[in-house]
Each structure stands twice: as structure tokens, then as C-alpha cells.
């Protein structure tokens, strides 16, 4: 039944509770803003021959307005966005320039004399049919991106806002939400999001957690039974969505509000505290960053350094490659911002899944997740790579720097990079800058590199385990595919045994090992990683204090003593029981 039928005589609201999956913690109360699934319900429309040029011009104006919207969003929110949001904004911007979309729309208007709106529907349906026939789940999932772009263009055609305006204090209830719009929604005042689709491990969920925006996914019943204006209470931890909450629910909400406020005050007191377990073991918390704002926040929150500085944002959304001086200034500012604490620059991590406008990344790869990306792309374009290495090395004159290479799969790649690194050092020295070769590390995110880690440890100075990609590759599960959401989990016995293998290799060879990605940023998993021997975490600055609090409550020796039982677990349930038994 619809929400409008949920009332007793006299108009008294009747409470209804719906279960979803908590994806980003937090409790929110607001009025519902329902956004139904994007469908272009447009019948066949033609325009007179005399108006074809005007209709084509109207479409071009809508396309340019959508492009300008994406550019403005990226520029405005760069400092606040995590990697995932930037990637999706850039992907949507690239789709707006895709000839398969733009040229086909123009042809439909000029040759078939379709209205711009009907041309949008026809071409959307054509491209959707192609996506649906694809076997690759990653490429098939790009249909959602196409629909978001079509929605933006159509909104500008009819001078409507693609995203709701005046949403302060509202809960968005929708079919799905793109990472590229989450920060914008929060800026407009949306207090929580409830979606029928999605996964707690999707890019949208990762960004929502970075923004501290409560998110519940998989709540199809809530979408079906909620109307605009209904009062909605959202629990982003349990996944509960309550429509028309009663007095008991409201008391619970206010109690949680007070509890959350106390927790925030307690966390603030940890800014200057050491990250040390109850039995005196120091743990290093590094921050992930991509901007000066991220670096400044990491410094303020007492991060041990920057464990992963994403350099690819300099290469995206532009028509020319950044030169050495431009890169150097960004890298130097990051080093100065950490005031003597090390900054780890991950070299260019581009690929067809986040291609740039310069044409550097290859387009139209059959399987971009397994294509020319990361270190493979850098070694393919040696001049671009050498330029980046020189810029990083010049920045090393201002403070401690490390170089981290993504997507490493074999020892040979590391040796090639080290030779290029030493060659770049020699060039910078000849310019009169006194620098030494910075430590070189490898991202362990390819299963082959993790399994063969003993062949890598003597070729690197440190390692960083990229758990997001490692879990995805190891389990052969796309974490953005809703149909496979239950299969994608870091709490898989094979994942934990592989992590223990890599961490153990680092321990035996005295090679520092960090973990980055969602596993590092989830404080609930910290006891598990400590039990496996991890001493270094790298995560978004927003999660530093909460993770520090969790670690300070752990007893390292006790956790290490329980590692064998953890590694003997046969399934996810056994691992979750192990976590539940941690004091």
C-alpha cells in the first residue's frame, strides 16, 4: 500500500518501519523528498523543418549547461571530495562529450526531426540496450551513469534542477544515488539519503562515510511506501527507516543526538593523544589526501604523515598535461603542509575507467579494471612518468617524501621504476638541488603481487595494501554491482589469510606495511588488522580520531594471541563471531 493510505481516520499518522542496510552511520530526522527512478516518459515528438536548427541549438545549450554544472561542482568541492567522487564527476563529464551520445542526438534531431527530449529518450534506449548485452558487470553498471547524465541534460532542456533545490532538513528517498551528487546534496541541506538500490561497499557509500552523511541502501520498501513530506527517521548504522515515527522513536532520536554530541566532544580530545594500545604498542595513523585542505586537516588531527597522496587529480578534467613546475608546486605545498612528517605520493593512477581528456589513458578497453592502468600506464608513457618523478624529487628538498607505485603485479615493474627514479634524481642533482632518492613502495592490490610478495619485499622500501581493489580482484566481485553485494566482503577467509601473508612478509623482512582502503577506515575492523600484525593504517582524515579511539581501547598482545583462531575461520560468520568476542 502507498504511504498516503497509512493514516487512521482523523488523519493521525501511523508509524511504519522499513529495513535496509546501514551504509554510513548517523541518525537523521527530516521530511521526505522522494525522487522516483529516472524514466523519460516522452512519446514520439517531431519538430517542423523550420525549427530543426533551433531545436539542435537548444540541445547544445543543455549539453553545455550540464558540462558547466559538472565543472563548477568539481572546482567547488575538490577539497572535500574523496577519490571516488572525483572519479565519477570526471566520468560523467566525459560522457557529456562522448560522440556516441552527442553526435547521435544531433543526427536524430536533424535527420529524423525528433524533438530534443524524444531524441534523448531514443538514444538513451539504444545505448541502454548495448549496456544490457554486455557480459562484463563493471561495464554493464555504467548504465546508471548514463541515466544520471541523461537526467541532467533533460533537466536543463526543461529548465528544471537536476537535483532538488530547497532541500534543507530533508531526507532524500530515491532509487539510487551517484557519488558525484552526494556532496552537492549535503551542501543543499539534505540530512540523510535512503536508496532502494546500492551496496554498503559502493563508491557512494564510501563517500557518504567521508562526508558523515547518513545513508541507508537496499531499502526498496521505503521508496515504495514513502510520500513527499512524510516525516522520516533514518538510522545509518542499523539500516532502519521509520516513516511517521512515534513518541518513543523521537525520544530515542534525541537520546542518540545527545550521545553523538558527547562522542564528538570525546573524539576532539584525542587530537593530541598518541595512537597507542592499552598495553603500550604505538600504531601509526597516516592520512589519505588529494588537496592542501586534506593535508591541513591531517596535520591538525595528528596524523603521522600522508600515507597516500593521490596525484591523478592534477591530470583530470583538463585538455593538457600538467608540466613539471605545476606538479612540483602542488607536491611541495603538501610536503610543507605536513611540517616534517612524511608525505607518500602515489604515482599516476589512471586507466580507462577514469580516463583523462588529454588522451593519456587508453579509451574503450574491453575490461578497464584489468587494462593499462597504474604503473602499466606510467611505464608506457615514460616521458610523462619521468616528469612526475622529477617533480616529486624536487619536492623532497622541502621535507621527507616517499614514492608509492600503484597496480604493481611483478618484481620487474618495481625494478624498472627504481631505475627511472634514480635517473630522475640524477637530473635534479645536476640542476643543483641536493636530494637523495626517496623510499620506493609498492601498492599491493593485485592478487599475484600479494601471493608473490616474498619476491617483492627486497625490491621495495615499504608496501601499502590497497584493500578495495585487492578484495575485488581476489573475489572476482565488482563492489558496485548490487546483485553481488553479499559476495563482496573483506571478511572472507581468503582475504584475511592473504593479508596475513603480506603483513607477515613485511614483518620478517623489516619492511613497513600499511593498509589503505575501506578496511583501514572502518574502526570495527581495527582489532582484526591488529591481530594480523598491522602497525600502520592510512585513511581519510575524517576517520582518524574514531580509529585512534578504537586502537587506544585495544590490547595488542591479546589480539595477537587470538590471530590463529581468526585465521582458522572457515566462513564470514566465524570471522564476525571473532570480532564480536573482542573486548
Which H helix or E strand runs over 166? none
Residue 194 contacts by C-beta under 8 Å, 6 or more apart in sequence? Answer: 20, 171, 172, 173, 174, 215, 216, 219, 222, 223, 226, 232, 234, 241
336 CB contacts (<8 Å, ≥6 apart)? 398, 399
How many Å separate Cα 563 from the centre of its chain?
30
13: three-class secondary structure by DSSP: coil
Assess whether 225 carries a catalytic annotation. no
Among the options 16, 148, 203, 540, which is catalytic?
203
DSSP-derived 3-state class of residue 340: coil
Say if residues 490 and 467 touch (Cβ distance below 8 Å).
yes
- DSSP readout, 515-528? EESHHHH-GGGHHH
Say which of 148, 516, 540, 554 is annotated catalytic: 516
> How many Å apart are CA 271 and CA 255, to the nearest integer?
26
Widest Cα–Cα separation across the chain: 86
516 part of the active site? yes
Q: Residue 374 and residue 372: Cα distance in Å, rounded?
A: 7
Q: For residue 476, what are the contacts with CB-CB under 8 A and spacing of at least 6? A: none
User: Please, which residues bridge with residue 74 across strands?
Assistant: none
Residue 332, Cα to own-chain centre: how many angstroms?
A: 25
Cα separation, 336 vs 395, whole angstroms: 9
CB 534 within 8 A of CB 563: no
Catalytically active residues, by annotation: 203, 516
Amino acid at each position: 500500500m502507498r504511504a498516503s493510505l497509512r493514516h487512521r481516520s482523523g488523519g493521525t499518522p501511523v508509524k511504519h518501519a522499513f529495513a535496509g542496510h546501514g551504509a554510513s552511520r548517523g541518525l537523521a530526522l527530516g521530511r521526505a523528498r522522494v525522487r522516483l527512478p529516472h524514466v523519460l516518459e516522452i512519446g514520439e515528438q517531431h519538430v517542423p523543418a523550420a525549427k530543426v536548427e533551433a531545436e539542435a541549438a537548444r540541445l547544445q545549450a543543455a549539453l553545455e549547461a550540464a558540462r558547466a554544472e559538472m565543472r563548477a561542482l568539481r572546482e567547488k568541492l575538490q577539497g572535500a571530495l574523496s577519490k571516488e567522487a572525483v572519479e565519477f564527476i570526471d566520468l560523467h563529464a566525459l560522457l557529456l562529450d562522448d560522440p556516441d551520445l552527442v553526435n547521435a542526438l544531433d543526427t536524430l534531431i536533424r535527420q529524423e526531426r525528433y524533438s530534443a527530449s524524444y531524441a534523448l529518450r531514443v538514444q538513451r534506449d539504444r545505448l541502454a540496450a548495448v549496456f544490457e548485452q554486455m557480459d562484463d558487470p563493471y561495464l554493464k553498471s555504467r548504465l546508471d551513469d548514463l541515466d544520471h547524465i541523461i537526467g541532467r541534460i533533460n533537466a536543463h532542456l526543461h529548465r528544471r534542477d537536476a537535483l532538488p533545490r530547497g532541500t534543507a532538513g530533508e531526507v532524500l528517498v530515491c532509487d539510487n544515488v551517484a557519488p558525484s551528487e552526494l556532496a552537492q546534496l549535503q551542501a543543499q541541506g539534505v540530512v540523510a539519503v535512503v536508496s532502494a538500490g546500492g551496496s554498503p561497499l559502493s563508491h557512494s557509500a564510501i563517500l557518504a562515510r567521508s562526508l558523515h552523511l547518513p545513508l541507508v541502501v537496499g531499502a526498496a520498501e521505503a521508496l515504495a511506501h514513502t510520500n513527499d513530506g512524510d516525516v522520516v527517521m533514518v538510522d545509518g548504522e542499523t539500516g532502519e527507516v521509520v516513516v511517521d515515527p512515534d513518541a518513543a522513536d523521537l525520544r530515542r532520536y534525541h537520546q542518540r543526538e545527545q550521545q553523538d554530541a558527547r562522542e564528538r566532544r570525546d573524539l576532539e580530545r584525542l587530537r593530541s593523544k598518541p595512537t597507542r594500545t592499552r598495553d603500550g604498542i604505538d600504531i601509526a595513523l597516516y592520512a589519505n589526501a588529494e588537496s592542501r585542505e586534506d593535508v591541513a586537516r591531517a596535520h591538525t588531527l595528528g596524523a603521522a604523515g600522508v600515507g597516500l597522496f593521490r596525484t591523478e587529480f592534477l591530470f583530470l578534467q583538463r585538455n593538457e598535461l600538467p608540466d613539471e613546475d605545476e606538479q612540483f608546486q602542488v607536491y611541495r605545498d603538501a610536503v610543507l603542509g605536513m611540517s616534517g612528517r612524511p608525505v607518500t605520493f602515489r604515482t599516476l593512477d589512471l586507466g580507462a575507467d577514469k580516463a583523462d581528456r588529454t588522451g593519456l589513458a587508453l579509451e574503450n578497453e574491453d575490461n578497464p579494471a584489468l587494462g593499462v592502468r597504474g604503473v602499466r600506464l606510467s611505464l608506457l608513457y615514460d616521458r610523462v612518468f619521468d616528469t612526475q618523478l622529477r617533480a616529486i624529487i624536487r619536492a623532497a628538498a622541502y621535507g621527507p617524501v616517499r614514492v608509492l607505485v600503484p597496480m604493481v603485479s611483478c618484481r620487474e615493474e618495481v625494478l624498472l621504476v627504481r631505475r627511472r627514479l634514480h635517473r630522475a634524481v640524477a637530473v635534479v642533482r645536476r640542476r643543483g638541488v641536493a636530494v637523495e632518492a626517496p623510499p620506493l613502495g609498492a601498492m599491493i592490490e593485485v592478487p599475484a603481487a600479494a601471493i608473490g610478495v616474498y619476491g617483492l619485499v627486497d625490491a621495495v622500501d615499504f608496501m601499502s595494501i590497497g584493500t578495495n581493489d585487492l578484495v575485488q580482484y581476489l573475489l572476482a566481485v565488482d563492489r558496485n554491482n548490487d546483485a553481488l553485494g553479499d559476495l563482496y566482503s573483506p571478511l572472507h577467509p581468503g582475504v584475511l589469510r592473504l593479508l596475513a601473508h603480506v603483513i607477515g612478509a613485511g614483518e620478517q623482512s623489516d619492511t613497513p606495511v600499511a593498509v589503505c582502503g575501506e578496511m583501514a577506515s572502518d574502526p570495527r575492523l581495527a582489532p582484526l588488522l591488529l591481530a594480523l600484525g598491522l602497525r600502520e593504517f592510512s585513511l581519510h582524515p575524517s576517520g582518524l580520531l574514531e580509529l585512534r579511539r578504537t586502537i587506544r581501547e585495544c590490547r595488542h598482545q591479546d589480539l595477537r594471541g587470538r590471530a590463529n583462531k581468526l585465521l582458522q575461520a572457515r566462513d564470514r560468520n566465524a570471522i564476525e563471531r571473532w570480532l564480536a568476542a573482542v573486548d
